[in-house]
Structure 1
Amino acid sequence: MNRLPNTTARAQAGVMLLEALIGILIFSLGILSLVALQATSIQLTSDAKYRTDASLLANRLIGQMWASGLAPAVLKTKFENGGDEYNTWLTSVQGNDEIPPGLPGVVAASSGVDSTLPVVNVFNDGRVEITLFWRTPQMATSGANSSHRHQVFSQIVRNP
């Protein structure tokens, strides 16, 4: 009968070490999950910044269209891609130091963001469609779904 307690102690040898290792494993998985969550949060914040910049850029152009007071036919010639007002707006946005690098559609070559110029369509009834495309540095450089797109629709009308 004296051997029974000795056998039990030997059977439990190393159990505390095993419990500690399992505890460390669970703790490590929790920490790794928090790190992954933080990385995802930073990426989503960056994406939101680009969407906000795209919205501000489009709204700025629409504001200039409204302020011009031009008829839709004249808006079409002046504000669509290649028009005088479009080029003036694009130059002013590209040269504005207050706008952070990476602004969709007007990107400095050194910013690391690949982009195309905004596409502006003005229809004869005064409808305006502005489409901005951009690709962040983290995105793939090729493929059909490798760029973000932001579209803004507005109606520019004049009072008679």
Structure 2
Amino acid sequence: MNKHSKLRHEQTGVMLLEALIAILVFSLGILSLVALQATSIKLTGDAKYRTDATLLANRLIGQMWVSGGDLATLAANFASAGPGAAYTAWLSDVAGTEGLPGVVAASSGVVSTLPTVTVDGAGVVEITLFWRTPEMATDVPGHRHVVVSQVVRNP
């Protein structure tokens, strides 16, 4: 057996092994891209819900600014403790089809995700919005967004 045929015999299958390693590296790259895409989609959905919560809170604060009356009337109309008439109307926007997902009242085994609105004597308004994405369990409060503002009435 000559030197060249012996060398060729020892390298049999090396090209197949190189091809398999290349396929493995390529597959890992593709799987990483798919995982990155899935994470990107989840984070985009979370950002949309936070933006919607901010817009809903700002809408309520805008309604408070244009409503007439003193701070006691403001608290009576917009506070969630009453609940006031303006709060009830705004709640239909929050829990509606264009609002936040998973906004429900408390029931057996389900934690409430209804928004809370408080107005203190100095006109400080605190709006807390909750929502649950479809994959979240109903026994946890879910995500929360808090907006604090001050509504001042001219004497």
- Report SS of the residue matched to 2:147: strand
Aligned length: 147
Q: Distance in 1 between matches of 2:131 and 2:95?
A: 19
Q: Mapping of 1:4-153 within 5 angstroms?
A: 4-81=3-80, 82-91=83-92, 93=93, 100=98, 103=100, 116-143=113-140, 147-153=142-148
Name stretches of at least 5 consecutive residues in structure 1 with no aligned partner: 108-113
TM-score, normalising length: structure 1: 0.82
Report the AA paired with residue 23 of structure 2. I
User: In angstroms, what is the RMSD of aligned CA positions?
Assistant: 2.2
State the percentage of identical aligned residues: 64
Q: Distance in 2 between matches of 1:141 and 1:122?
A: 29
Residue pair 1:105, 1:115 contacting (<8 A) in 2 also: no
TM-score, normalising length: structure 2: 0.85
- Report SS of the residue matched to 1:117: coil
Give CA-to-partner distance per residue, 1:11-48, whole Å, 9 cap, x none: 10000000000000000000011111111111111111
Give CA-to-partner distance per residue, 1:36-73, whole Å, 9 cap, x none: 11111111111111111111111111110000033222
Name stretches of at least 5 consecutive residues in structure 2 with no aligned partner: 105-110
